[in-house]
Amino acid sequence: MLKAIGQTLFSSGLQHPKFTAQQSKGEDYEVRTYHTTNWVSTAMTDMEQDPALSTGFKRLFKYIQGNNDKKCKVEMTAPVSCQIEPGAGPACESSFTVSFYIPEEHQADPPKPTDPDVFIENRKEVTVFVRTYGGFANSESCHAELLKLIESLKRDGMKFKEAPFYRAGYDSPFKLTNRRNEVWLIKDEE
């Protein structure tokens, strides 16, 4: 039964990074350890999440469409992740790193980006707390779900890093129902 549930959750047909799910205290979040993997990424600063995510997505989409040293198309994967390092205050720019997971066939030798604003990022193994939610994600829904995740982790006495945090989206903008979005906080291993 768990296998069927997992297949339903990841039935988008897109490759995604491998992780190990751990037992968690909370029913409203999951604990995952993601294995070391390569991602194609782009970084920027902005006052708002949604425009930064849009800019980053467009840069990375060009990469997977062949804007790379091998001029090869790279399969789309899920999730589109966005690492967010909040600014010092409400009127300050935040730092954003938007990333696509590089599919298995390119993990060992990813095509090199030709856009100077795009780079290959080797993400080391990391354990994250994950809260999943539906609908069309935006900065407001992401923030609300992040606060719920923080509240749950504090309730359960879990240690986590408040920044940076991640926003992850799994669906095409053309998918109207049963959408899947996540917020991630890194487990504090100290």
pLDDT at 93 (0 to 100): 94
Q: What is the mean pLDDT of the chain?
A: 91
Assess whether pLDDT exceeds 80 at residue 4: no
Assess whether pLDDT exceeds 80 at residue 190: no
Residue with tokens 């240690």: 159
pLDDT at 154 (0 to 100): 96
Q: pTM, whole model, 2 decimals?
A: 0.90
> CA–CA separation, 89 vs 106, rounded Å?
39
Q: Which residues sit opposite 183 in a β-bridge?
A: 131, 167
pLDDT at 70 (0 to 100): 97
Set out the domains of the chain in order of their start, with CATH numbers: 2-187 (3.20.80.10)
Closest of 173, 168, 190, 174 to residue 19, by C-alpha: 168
Higher confidence at residue 165 or residue 4?
A: 165
The string of pLDDT tens digits covering residues 6-57 is 333 444 689 999 999 987 777 799 999 999 999 999 999 999 999 999 999 9
> CA–CA separation, 50 vs 132, rounded Å?
19
